[in-house]
């Protein structure tokens, strides 16, 4: 049995990986020493993938081939209003895929969003495997509590493409609650306020002796740190246009520089009362004069720019309390999650709303991954220390006559759960019933996500309203929905188990997984080759220095020249690592001979 399973917080802005070691969750630092990895992917001109910091650093000069914030788009259709908005602002190209899904274009190749997420997951997996020194396949990946089935399945597909066995998908606030709850034995009701880079969730949970019971969860999958960044960008663009009569939005490279500067300014203003933004040569005026952007933003100005976003999050908090049937006074502790909760005004607003100071003993950037790791470790070793009772994040129901959405299972119903509704035929001699299963919160059926469609046939011809068909929705502990249609007169029934779909076919997922695995193997071999070349060059330089510093006997001189020649050829050709290994051995032998004889 494997000794480790990963807990992964796959974030909009940053991602994080954790394991349980010696009974405690531990965040694994990436190759650059940071505990979080930017959720940014780029393709270099050479075709090499760049992930995390490497991708972010070159995003200004390679904006069209650098992809970020895909978590906001994953699992959505191309015609979603949020997607259309992003298509107008992102510097990389977003196009329609073969299944009405979203693809992004980098270096003339189209990638699905699960593929992009898989690249990030592969990087995190590799970091963990290098730390542990063993292959790891099992993982729990977290998602926003407000994600629908398509978004959840797209995340599972990303895990599959990355070569991971996704043990479970759990909600980010729930994972944070597990990490927090593992530090205390006290029974309490907590609110998890999760304001991340791209999404916002609020969950109300009761914790009692290892039982985590989600009372309610709600959120906004398009409210997060990026919206705060965008307010700074809009402010700078508007002021620059007023001063120079130039619209920076028409220049992708300038906008990418602004994005990076805005994110830094936002972070700075959590610590400072004001910050300067200096971007020299950001644009050229119509008459050819170089233009520079120099601006100072105070914390107060920034707070005025984003106060409506914070109020928006608090309105959602009020809904969560109402749906949990609790008040602020019933909340024992408030747990802050996500980088945006470092902003002083966010902390102040949350404190005022819940009428208490948030917990200070957790790291908002790491707590989700740590909670996921705790749960993954327990599943791996079949432990039951923490038991989760989660809820349905959205209403489940059917499309009915008149284009309306009839709810059968309400959001925030504890799973597993089941509910039954009886429908009658709507017109004379109706012999079949078209059943469209929906998920969402809109009153109009067309505005909700279609989970499945099927036809229930064999109904006895009769006048409208005289034949009853019983529809039962059954949701298991993993959130899988089963729908049972039953003719109450004939007892005939039709059962459909709704499998989540991300719009990728199984064949596509297998092909993408194979391509990802082949790339990683190729890259690993390439890294070995590059390391071998570097080592050979290092030894060649040492031989050259020894030749320059010592009097080499004629009998040895010809041998040394031949060894250097073969080594140089092996480096220049760089076709076979075995030739480099031979060259390395010869150079080591040559160094030893020179040092012994001179």
Nearest Cα to Cα of residue 476 among 418, 420, 416:
416
Number of Cβ within 10 Å of residue 296's Cβ equals: 11
> CA 526, CA 574: separation in Å to the nearest integer?
10
Q: What is the 3-state secondary structure (H, E, C) of 332-358?
A: CEEEEECHHHHCHHHHHHHHHHHCCCC
> CA 272, CA 581: separation in Å to the nearest integer?
54
* Contact between residue 577 and residue 543 where contact means Cβ atoms under 8 Å apart: no
Separate counts of helices (H) and strands (E) for the chain: 13, 27
Q: CB within 8 A of 292, min separation 6: which ones?
A: 278, 279, 280, 281, 282
> CA 378, CA 170: separation in Å to the nearest integer?
14
* Contact between residue 269 and residue 297 where contact means Cβ atoms under 8 Å apart: yes
* Contact between residue 553 and residue 566 where contact means Cβ atoms under 8 Å apart: no
Instruction: Identify whether 251 is a catalytic site residue.
Output: no
Query: How remote is the C-alpha of 482 from its chain's centroid?
Result: 28
Q: What is the 3-state secondary structure (H, E, C) of 263-291?
A: HHHHHHCCCCCEEEEEEEEEEECCCCCEE
Instruction: Identify whether 194 is a catalytic site residue.
Output: yes
- Buried b / exposed e along 512-546 (16+ C-beta atoms within 10 A): bbeebeeebeeeeeeeeeeebbebbeebbeebeeb
How confident is the model at residue 19, as a pLDDT? 97
Strands 102-106 and 109-112: antiparallel
pLDDT truncated to tens, each residue of the chain (598 aa)?
A: 468 999 999 999 999 999 999 889 999 999 899 999 999 999 999 999 999 999 999 999 999 999 999 999 999 989 888 899 889 889 999 999 998 899 999 999 999 999 999 999 999 999 999 999 999 999 999 999 989 888 999 999 999 999 999 999 999 999 999 999 888 878 999 999 999 999 999 999 999 988 999 999 999 989 999 999 999 999 999 999 999 999 999 998 999 999 999 999 999 999 999 999 999 999 988 888 899 999 999 999 999 999 999 999 999 999 999 999 999 999 999 999 999 999 999 999 999 999 999 998 889 999 999 999 999 999 998 877 888 888 999 999 999 988 999 999 999 999 999 999 999 888 899 899 899 999 999 999 999 999 989 999 988 899 988 889 999 999 987 788 899 999 998 888 888 888 777 789 999 999 999 999 999 988 888 888 888 899 999 999 998 988 888 888 877 888 888 999 999 988 888 777 888 888 899 999 999 888 888 7
* Contact between residue 598 and residue 553 where contact means Cβ atoms under 8 Å apart: yes
Q: CB within 8 A of 412, min separation 6: which ones?
A: 214, 215, 216, 217, 218, 323, 324, 391, 392, 393
* Contact between residue 485 and residue 498 where contact means Cβ atoms under 8 Å apart: no
Residue 95 exposed, middle or buried by CB count within 10 Å (0-12, 13-18, 19+): exposed
Superfamily of domain 395-498: Substrate Binding Domain Of DNAk; Chain A, domain 1 (2.60.34.10)
Query: How remote is the C-alpha of 408 from its chain's centroid?
Result: 31
* Contact between residue 11 and residue 194 where contact means Cβ atoms under 8 Å apart: no
> CA 587, CA 532: separation in Å to the nearest integer?
13
Instruction: Identify whether 518 is a catalytic site residue.
Output: no
DSSP tag of 507: H
- In the block, residue with structure tokens 């909760």: 341
Over residues 111-147, the pLDDT tens digits come to 999 999 999 999 999 999 999 999 999 999 999 998 9
> CA 257, CA 280: separation in Å to the nearest integer?
10
> CA 121, CA 164: separation in Å to the nearest integer?
9
Q: Which of 115, 157, 194, 365 is catalytic?
A: 194
Domain boundaries, the chain: 6-223+308-389, 225-306, 395-498, 506-597
> CA 229, CA 314: separation in Å to the nearest integer?
19
Could you say which of 3.30.413.10, 2.10.10.90, 3.40.718.10, 3.30.420.40 is the CATH number of the domain covering 6-223+308-389?
A: 3.30.420.40
pTM of the model: 0.86
- In the block, residue with structure tokens 């078209």: 434
How confident is the model at residue 2, as a pLDDT? 60
Strands 138-143 and 165-171: parallel
Q: Which of 9, 157, 333, 487 is catalytic?
A: 9
What is the domain class of 225-306 according to CATH? alpha beta
How confident is the model at residue 571, as a pLDDT? 87
Q: Which of 101, 115, 123, 172 is catalytic?
A: 172
> CA 49, CA 55: separation in Å to the nearest integer?
8
> CA 368, CA 375: separation in Å to the nearest integer?
11
């Amino acid at each position: 049995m494997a000794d480790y399973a990963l807990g992964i917080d796959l974030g909009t802005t940053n991602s994080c990986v954790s394991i349980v070691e010696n009974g405690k969750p531990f965040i694994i630092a990436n190759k650059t020493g940071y505990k979080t990895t930017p959720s940014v992917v780029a393709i270099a001109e050479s075709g090499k993938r760049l992930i995390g910091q490497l991708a972010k650093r070159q995003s200004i000069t390679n904006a069209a081939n650098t992809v970020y914030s895909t978590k906001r788009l994953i699992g959505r259709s191309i015609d979603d209003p949020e997607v259309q908005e992003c298509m107008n602002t992102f510097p990389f190209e977003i196009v329609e895929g073969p299944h009405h899904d979203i693809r992004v274009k980098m270096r003339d190749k189209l990638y699905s969003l699960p593929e992009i997420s898989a690249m990030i997951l592969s990087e995190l997996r590799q970091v963990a495997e290098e730390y542990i020194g063993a292959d790891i396949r099992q993982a729990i990946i977290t998602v926003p509590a407000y994600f629908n089935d398509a978004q959840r399945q797209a995340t599972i597909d990303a895990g599959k493409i990355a070569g991971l066995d996704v043990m479970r998908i759990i909600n980010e606030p729930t994972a944070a609650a597990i990490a927090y709850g593992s530090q205390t034995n006290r029974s309490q009701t907590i609110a998890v306020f999760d304001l991340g880079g791209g999404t916002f969730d609020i969950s109300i949970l009761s914790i009692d002796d290892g039982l985590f019971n989600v009372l309610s969860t709600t959120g906004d999958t398009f409210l997060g740190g990026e919206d705060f960044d965008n307010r700074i960008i809009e402010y700078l663009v508007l002021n620059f246009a007023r001063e120079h009569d130039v619209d920076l939005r028409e220049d992708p490279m300038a906008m990418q520089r602004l994005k990076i500067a805005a994110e830094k300014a936002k972070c700075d203003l959590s610590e400072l009362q004001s910050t300067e933004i200096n971007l020299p040569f950001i644009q050229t005026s119509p008459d050819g004069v170089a233009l520079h952007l120099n601006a100072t933003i105070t914390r107060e100005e920034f707070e005025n720019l984003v106060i409506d976003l914070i109020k928006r999050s608090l309105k959602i908090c009020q809904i969560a309390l109402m749906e949990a049937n609790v008040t602020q006074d019933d909340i024992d502790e408030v747990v802050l999650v996500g980088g945006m909760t470092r902003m002083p005004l966010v902390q102040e607003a949350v404190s005022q709303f819940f009428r208490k100071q948030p917990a200070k003993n957790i790291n908002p950037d790491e707590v989700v991954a740590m909670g996921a790791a705790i749960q993954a470790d327990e599943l791996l070793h079949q432990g039951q220390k923490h038991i989760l009772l989660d809820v349905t994040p959205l209403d489940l129901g059917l499309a009915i006559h008149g284009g309306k959405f009839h709810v059968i299972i309400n959001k925030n119903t504890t799973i597993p759960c089941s509910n039954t509704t009886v429908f009658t035929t709507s017109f004379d001699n109706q012999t079949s019933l078209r059943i469209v299963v929906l998920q969402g919160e809109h009153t109009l059926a067309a505005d909700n996500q279609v989970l499945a469609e099927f036809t229930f046939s064999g109904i006895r011809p009769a006048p409208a309203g005289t034949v009853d068909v019983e529809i039962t929705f059954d949701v298991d502990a993993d959130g899988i929905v089963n729908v049972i249609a039953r003719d109450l007169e004939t007892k005939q029934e039709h059962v459909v188990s709704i499998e989540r779909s991300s719009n990728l076919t199984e064949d596509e997922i297998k092909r993408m997984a194979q391509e990802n695995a082949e790339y990683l193997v190729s890259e690993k071999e390439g890294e070995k080759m590059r390391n071998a070349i570097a080592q050979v060059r290092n030894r060649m330089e040492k031989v050259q220095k020894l030749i320059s510093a010592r009097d080499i006997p004629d009998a040895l001189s010809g041998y040394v020249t031949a060894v250097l020649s073969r080594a140089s050829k092996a480096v220049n050709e760089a076709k076979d690592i075995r030739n480099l290994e031979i060259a390395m051995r010869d150079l080591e032998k040559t160094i030893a001979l020179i040092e012994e004889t001179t």
